[in-house]
Amino acid sequence: MATDFSSIPIINISALLAKSDDPKMGEDPCVLEVVRQLDKACTEAGFFYVKGHGIPETLLGAVKDITRRFFELPYEEKAQIKMTPATGFRGYQMIGENITKGVPDMHEAIDCYREVTKGMYGDLGKQMEGCNQWPQNPQKFKGLMEEYVSLCTELARKIMRGIALALGGSPDEFEGQRAGDPFWVMRLIGYPGVSTVNGTNVQKNDIGCGPHTDYGLLTLLNQADGINALQVRNKSGDWISAPPVPGSFVCNIGDMLKIYSNGLYESTLHRVINNSPKYRVSVVFFYETNFDTAVEPLDTWKTRANGTKKFERAVYGEHLISKVLTNFVE
């Protein structure tokens, strides 16, 4: 339920992380203060920055650097890991290939998904079966990204324990059947800089990524420093900037958490407009529910207080596949 927010709050989550595996975390005043801030941010904006997250700043920088170096390679080399339906939609896509609401996006990307083995989710998972395509060059790409995915998974799980408390539930609300075996998505994205001639943009469009919501539970965005490009839409329809805050993640709520929270938390619309002359890189980690989970509003006092259940059940895997298929239509 977005409001007319005009900026995005910064939350230091170190107290939450320190206690996030303590069964009594919900009684700790420092944890409860973080939970209060999470609840406010999720209710008002669906977006917040996190600091005190414990992932080394050197690693945040290293994954962006190596991504940039990959995109600097010639097309022929990038095309060796081309994304196709046969690779379970994993791999490289060039500028203009990804489509948001029918409009080509001005970005190139590598899409990665948690591995889906043959038959793992029956017919539901068939189209997503496959393992990631990692480039040979730059060296050590796979190892670095796998380390990053594992740290982001753990971090997102802990933030979700805080969000579970914020929704009036137990910290374990998103463990087990819901998200105890979480699916994940990672997009390594490069947005070309805009070249200008006599102050006029020479490109057809500067939409790095058109307005969309994210699909799952919680997104952790690690964006390039020094370039202001991400924008978030508030209730009045104004686009509010989410400029880079060095060392932080930008977090936002996905469509599944909107359903779990019975609409208390919004999966807020956002877009990327790169007007800068600089090439911009972002590494985006999406923490999702179990692939085959049917999602419906939680039965906590807080979600009940928001009225009768406002959403039908949605199966995360079906939602993901419907999005993936429309992301690449001609």
The set of residues, in sequence order, having a beta carbon less than 8 Å from that of 272 and lying 6+ positions away, is 107, 191, 207, 208, 209, 229, 230, 231
Find which of ligand HRG, Fe ion, ligand AKG, none residue 223 binds, CB within 5 to 8 Å per kind: ligand AKG
Site string for ligand AKG, 258-277 (x = CB under 6 A): ------------x-x-----
214 binds Fe ion (CB under 5 A): yes
Q: Which does 98 bind (CB under 5 to 8 A by kind): Fe ion, ligand AKG, ligand HRG, none?
A: ligand HRG
Q: Which residue number places its CB atom closest to ligand AKG? A: 282
Q: If binding means CB under 6 A, how many residues of this protein chain bind ligand AKG?
A: 11
162, 16 contact by CB (below 8 A): yes
Instruction: Output the six-digit token pair for 208.
Output: 């790095």
> For 278-301, b where at least 16 C-beta lie within 10 A, e where not — what string?
eebbbbbbbbbbbbbbebebbebe
**105 is an interface residue for Fe ion by CB under 5 A:** no
* Nearest one of 206, 231, 228, 186 to 95, comparing CA atoms: 206
Distances in whole angstroms, Cα of residue 281 to Cα of each of 65, 150, 226:
8, 20, 11
- By CB under 6 A, the residues from 197 to 236 that bind ligand HRG are 209, 212, 214-215
Q: Which of residues 157-196 bind ligand AKG (CB under 6 A)?
A: 187, 189
Binding positions for ligand AKG, 215-234, rule CB under 6 A: 221, 223, 230
Span near Fe ion by CB under 5 A; candidates 44-52, 208-216, 287-295, 303-311: 208-216
Summary count for the chain: helices (H), strands (E): 9, 18
When the beta carbons of 112 and 209 are compared against ligand AKG, the nearer one is 209
Number of residues in contact with Fe ion, rule: CB under 5 A? 1
Degrees, nearest 5: CA angle 325-329-330: 170
Structure tokens, 72: 């600097």
CA distance 43 to 37: 10
If one asks whether residue 100 binds ligand HRG (CB under 6 A), the answer comes out as yes
Residue 191 or 215 with smaller CB distance to ligand HRG: 215
In the chain, what are the helix, strand and coil shares in percent, each to the nearest 5? 35, 25, 40
Question: Which residues would be at the binding site for ligand AKG (CB under 6 A)?
Answer: 187, 189, 209, 214, 221, 223, 230, 270, 272, 282, 284
Question: Which residues would be at the binding site for Fe ion (CB under 5 A)?
Answer: 214
Question: Which residues would be at the binding site for ligand HRG (CB under 6 A)?
Answer: 98-100, 185, 187, 209, 212, 214-215, 286, 323, 327
